[in-house]
Structure 1
Amino acid sequence: MDLAGLKVMVIDDSNTIRRSAEIFLAQAGCEVVLAEDGFDALAKIADHHPDVIFVDIMMPRLDGYQTCALIKKNPRLSPTPVIMLSSRDGLFDRARGRMAGSDEYLTKPFTKDSLLRAVASHARRGGDAARAG
């Protein structure tokens, strides 16, 4: 899987999750941007223009659903694929993620393979659109 040069943002209030995602993605050649919560992320997205965004659902201040909805409401950011991260794997949580505009739902703890597969399947679509615009 060639993910070299892709810019991936990981938004999670857990340092452990951010670190493990960063390690997996960096090993695959991605450029990784980390954010601790939705506010931190929204400030960084404009500067970094990530190709794919992973967002944890349960975060203080601004949760993953709110963060995803704000990204998708912004015309410049809306083509960017947003993948929800959650330790809860219920239908309700998945449905809420879809309503907020998320492109995929990944359950924690994720494996290196599931993380990279998610990036690969979304990066091409979102990244091409973002670069063209």
Structure 2
Amino acid sequence: MSDALTIMVIDDSSTIRRSAEMFLSGAGYRVVLADSGFDALAKIADHRPALVFCDIVMPRMDGYQTCALIKRSAAFRATPVLMLSSRDGLFDRARGVQAGSAACLAKPFTRDGMLAAVRAHTTGAPD
């Protein structure tokens, strides 16, 4: 399964990270977890994820800043970043798009919702 797509999940909540890891690894994806924007930026070059889920509300560096920094990098400009938000308002979606986000997934998310989002934004995804 070494050709499995790698998905990065950035969230300061260990519960959210564990849920996402369970859903994604159970579907055959490799999962890289980061507990902050800084942690994600330190790991992204080593793991080269096909897709990134990024929480919006995090301490020190929020999801919008993290997304913008990922998108500013030539190596990851084409990598889809999907925002995770418990605030599902129009303003949050607009700010996510402005930062370079491909979509916004509302929390709490379901297994099916998360896997559908991965399939919609990647190619070569498991069924």
With the shorter chain as reference, the TM-score category is over 0.9
Which residue number in structure 2 is paired with residue 34 of structure 1? 33
Which amino acid is 2:60 matched to?
Answer: R
**Does residue 18 in structure 1 map to residue 17 in structure 2?**
yes
Q: Deviations over 1:70-126 (max 9, x none)?
A: 01111111100000000001100000000000001000000000100111111119x
- Listed as ranges, the gaps of 5+ residues in structure 2 are none
Please tell me the root mean square deviation across aligned C-alpha atoms, in Å: 1.4
Which residue number in structure 1 is paired with residue 42 of structure 2? 43
Summarize the alignment of residues 78-89 of structure 1 with structure 2, pairs less than 5 Å apart.
78-89=77-88
In 1, Cα distance between equivalents of 2:90 and 2:56: 14
In 2, Cα distance between equivalents of 1:60 and 1:46: 22
In 2, Cα distance between equivalents of 1:27 and 1:109: 18
- The ranges of structure 1 where at least 4 consecutive aligned residues each deviate by more than 4 angstroms after the TM superposition are none
Which amino acid is 1:83 matched to?
Answer: L
User: What percentage of residue pairs aligned between the two structures are identical?
Assistant: 65
Q: Calculate the TM-score normalised by the size of structure 1.
A: 0.90
In 1, Cα distance between equivalents of 2:109 and 2:6: 19
Which residue number in structure 1 is paired with residue 64 of structure 2? 65
Higher percent of residues as helix: 1
